[in-house]
Amino acid sequence: MSTCVCEIAVSSTREHFTGTKELQREQELNRFLADVERRALRIAEISIRDRDEALDLVQEAMIKLVRNYADRSNDEWTPLFYRILQNGVRDWHRRRVVRSRVMVWFGRSTSDDADYDPVAAAPDPAGRTPDETLQTEQAMESLQLAVAGLPRRQREAFMLRTFEGLNVAGTAVAMGCSEGSVKTHYSRAVHSLRDTLGEHWQ
Amino acid sequence: MNERNTKAARTDDQLLVTKAKELFDESVEGLDAETRSRLNRGRHEALAHLRPGARYGQWLQWNQRTLSAAGVAAVVAVLIWTGRPPVDGLTPPATASDFEILLAEDSFEMLQELEFYSWIDFEAELDDELDTNGNVG
């Protein structure tokens, strides 16, 4: 009888411990995602030039991270999350090409880009004169267009290193390539952006 | 001289990266309340996948999606079978591999759209036939 009571007590303690551990993990994940979500959205948005679609991609990346990598150490989450997101962006572009082919096959055309207005989609930061705001918006618009025009791998390396602040090793994990490749893509991206944006942009 | 140019280029690169980062951070800070709210909701929905019972829900959802996708795939297969040439002569026709991508689990929403568009096409053709036969009401 006493053995039975002890087993129940141990089981209950274990469940409590597991529950507390799970709750703690959920809180850690919540903090991580809250910290990364806005930058991730802007990175995805620059890549695909559509905020609604970017929101969907970020949410999908969050779900996949939670489902598959919640038990990984916190240090691994950032590169893993961005790897999932970059894969999502890549799939999105692939599906878009296929969709346009299929829509033509069905006798329909797709022109998603026509609806995109980078100025209208630009944020509205407070506390500056309209001239300053306009200048910032124009500079950001130029940057977005230049970054969006980079080859895919260069764009990924630049955004992960510069915007997200990942180091070379983390960027390599996120991109699924070697650290040497990251350095090459990043260097080429910076040179290309300097050429595209010109000296006046700086 | 050459070394000086290299140093100048590095400084320019650094300036560009710094300014790009500043602009990006400003754009992140300037995200509107609705977008922030949607991100917040999305995060909480994602975190719900950690809770007990989420796995069963995923399994059910997967089954529903698979069954629905199979139905739509059948429609697509019939349309491929009946065949239809590209209309603009510029875009290459859809291939079997295109449909493989469409049939992936993640593309389910797009398949739903395809079903809708094929229905519109069917309706349009029906209207054309009615017009041609003078049966317009």
Chain A environment of B94 (Cβ under 8 Å):
98, 101-102, 104-105
Chain B environment of A139 (Cβ under 8 Å):
19, 23
Rounded to whole angstroms, how far apart are CA atoms B97 and B112? 18
- How crowded is residue A178: how many other Cβ atoms within 10 Å of its Cβ? 11
Q: Which of A98, A46, A108, A86 is nearest to B107 (CA)?
A: A98
Q: What angle do CA A25, A26, A32 make, to 5 degrees?
A: 90
Q: Number of CB pairs < 8 Å for A and B?
A: 151
Q: Do residues A43 and A85 touch, judged by C-beta distance below 8 A?
A: yes
Rounded to whole angstroms, how far apart are CA atoms A67 and A71? 9
Chain A environment of B88 (Cβ under 8 Å):
104, 109
Measured between CA atoms, how close is A1 to chain B, in angstroms? 31
Residue B72's pLDDT is what?
65
Interface test with B, best of A36, A51, A60, A98 (most B CBs within 10 A): A98
Residue B136's pLDDT is what?
40
- How crowded is residue A193: how many other Cβ atoms within 10 Å of its Cβ? 25
Q: Identify the weakest region by mean pLDDT among A28-32, A159-163, B84-88.
A: B84-88
Residue B26's pLDDT is what?
94
Residue B44's pLDDT is what?
96
Say whether A104 and B39 touch across the interface (CB within 8 A).
Answer: no
Chain B environment of A193 (Cβ under 8 Å):
16, 20
ipTM, interface predicted TM-score of the complex: 0.78
- Mind listing the pLDDT tens digit for each residue in A62-104? 999 999 999 999 999 999 999 999 999 999 999 888 877 776 6
> What does the domain layout of chain A look like in residue ranges?
1-115, 117-202
CATH topology of domain A117-202: Arc Repressor Mutant, subunit A (1.10.10)
Q: Does this model's pTM top 0.90?
A: no
Q: pLDDT below 50 — which residues of chain B? A: 134-137
Question: Which alpha helices (H) appear in chain A, and where do they start and end?
Answer: 2-48, 51-69, 74-105, 118-121, 130-148, 152-158, 168-175, 179-201
Tell me which residue in B13, B20, B98 faces A98 most closely, judged by beta carbons.
B98
Average pLDDT over residues A17-26: 79
Residue B80's pLDDT is what?
61
Q: Which of A64, A69, A80, A61 is nearest to A25 (CA)?
A: A69
Residue B78's pLDDT is what?
66
